[in-house]
Amino acid sequence: MIHVDGASLSRHIQDDELVLVDFWATWCAPCRAMAPMLDRLAKDFPGLRIVKLDAEEHKDLLDSYNVRSLPTLQIYRAGERVDQLMGKVPYEMIRRAVQGAS
């Protein structure tokens, strides 16, 4: 997992790779609860790049990425957002979203 700021987030999204962006905050209990699921996801999908953006530190980016609640997971392929999951969701739902974007 890679922690990013606004400029590096944009670079990661523009790659041809499959990218999952985790918009999170340290004070967000559901965000912390999802961290082990993202670790598992990284093991289950070695070709998936997972990047984390601290929403508290980068509030100025939330509107431009249409983040309305935390946690928000967005999946990108070749620079295009192909899926978005908001709130604490089950692992299986995240897995299916990544598989569908692959």
Q: Which residues are marked as active site? A: 28, 31
Q: Which residues contact 78 (CB under 8 A, 6 or more apart)?
A: 15, 16
Q: Is the dihedral of CA 88, 89, 95, 101 positive or negative?
A: negative
Cα(11)–Cα(5) distance, rounded to whole angstroms?
10
CB 13 within 8 A of CB 19: yes
Q: How many CB atoms lie within 10 A of CB 2?
A: 12
